[in-house]
Chain A
């Protein structure tokens, strides 16, 4: 299957700082990328959908000013958690869809805000 690379896999940051997570489709062009968040013992929750070159569509209850999403090219989307707080600590996962309309997932990023 196609490969989606997510970086970093783990990050620890101080409260009040910003953290950027990258999601790259390595061997296909991703027309759409998704960002999910997973709390312990809970489902993956869709945060936002982004299409290359346009603004992301956020799910209800997700703060667009806190979770900045940029999909500047067909192989890269970034999620920036701004002014992070301990409650933002979570596992963030991206997925990407290209021409064959199957979603491929990154390995996830464990964010810990201290």
Chain B
């Protein structure tokens, strides 16, 4: 079945550091890929998504590119802020928006120190 593997946390960085959170997937067909963020005490929020190979999703300074050849969707940000501290989930869906349910990675807890 489908699966998502993302780097284990916690990841601790200083403010303004460069961020990469790795995510790889296994799936049949051509899934859509997502990054969700969960701030303390809140529900998951869609951060960005990509629906086909070579698409780049971006939002709030975060980017991720759908790489079919490496089955990856790594999350990057050039300069992190304390407010980016949260848990980040990589996910995939066989369909465009998650209408078939999502398969999630385990989540990566990101801690940004001032």
Binding site for B on A (CB under 8 A): 1, 4, 6, 32, 34, 36, 41-46, 49, 93, 95, 97, 100-108
Contacts and interface: CB of A to CB of B under 8 A. Distances in A.
Q: Which of A44, A45, A102 lies at the interface centre, i.e. has the most chain B CB atoms within 10 A of its CB?
A: A44
Contact of A43 (B96, B99, B101, B104): B104
B45 A103 contact: no
A90 to B, nearest CB: 14
Given A1-B45, A105-B44, A97 B97 contact: yes
The 6 closest A-B pairs by CB, nearest first: A101-B97, A103-B98, A105-B44, A105-B43, A107-B43, A43-B104
Dominant secondary structure at the A interface: strand
16 contacts: A1-B46, A32-B99, A42-B106, A43-B4, A43-B103, A43-B106, A44-B102, A49-B100, A95-B98, A97-B97, A101-B96, A102-B98, A103-B46, A103-B97, A103-B98, A107-B41
Contacts of A42: 106
B101 A4 contact: no
Interface string B42-84: 1111100000000000000000000000000000000000000
Nearest to B105: A43
A45 B103 CA distance: 7
Interface string B84-108: 0000010000011111111111110
A112 B95 CA distance: 34
